[in-house]
Amino acid sequence: KNEVEQSPQNLTAQEGEFITINCSYSVGISALHWLQQHPGGGIVSLFMLSSGKKKHGRLIATINIQEKHSSLHITASHPRDSAVYICAVFSNTGNQFYFGTGTSLTVIP
């Protein structure tokens, strides 16, 4: 059983398209992260959310605590957005993070 489920697993988009990646989780959380991992690269934290919505450039992240669901949106996608996007939640009943398996995004010029 996965505490964090992401969809889709793989996503291919044309440059300029609006992209949505979804994350659902089953545990109580104190924070949710959206992470970005480029091929062969390290992991970078894009957002940390505990409620509502955050925006950074072309990236928008939302969270609905009641529904235990978060979305990451990319507006005007660009080939440099190609990466794996990982949702991770910090459990409020334990001292650990649970990670989704990631969404592999490819943006074609």
Partner 1 sequence: GAGVSQSPRYKVAKRGQDVALRCDPISGHVSLFWYQQALGQGPEFLTYFQNEAQLDKSGLPSDRFFAERPEGSVSTLKIQRTQQEDSAVYLCASSLILAGGGYTGELFFGEGSRLTVL
The contact set with partner 1 (CB under 8 A) reads 30-31, 33, 35, 41-45, 48, 86, 88, 90, 94-102
DSSP string, 72-87: EEESS--GGG-EEEEE
Nearer to partner 1, 42 or 109 (CB): 42
Nearer to partner 1, 32 or 107 (CB): 32
Q: How far is the CB of 25 from partner 1 (least distance, A)?
A: 13
Question: What is the rounded distance in angstroms from the CA atom of residue 3 to the CA atom of residue 91?
Answer: 10
Nearer to partner 1, 59 or 86 (CB): 86
Identify whether the C-beta of residue 14 lies closer than 8 Å to the C-beta of residue 108: yes
Q: How far is the CB of 84 from partner 1 (least distance, A)?
A: 8
If you ran DSSP here, which 8-state letter would residue 102 be given? Answer: -
Q: How far is the CB of 74 from partner 1 (least distance, A)?
A: 19
Tokens of 9: 């697993």
Tokens of 109: 């010029």
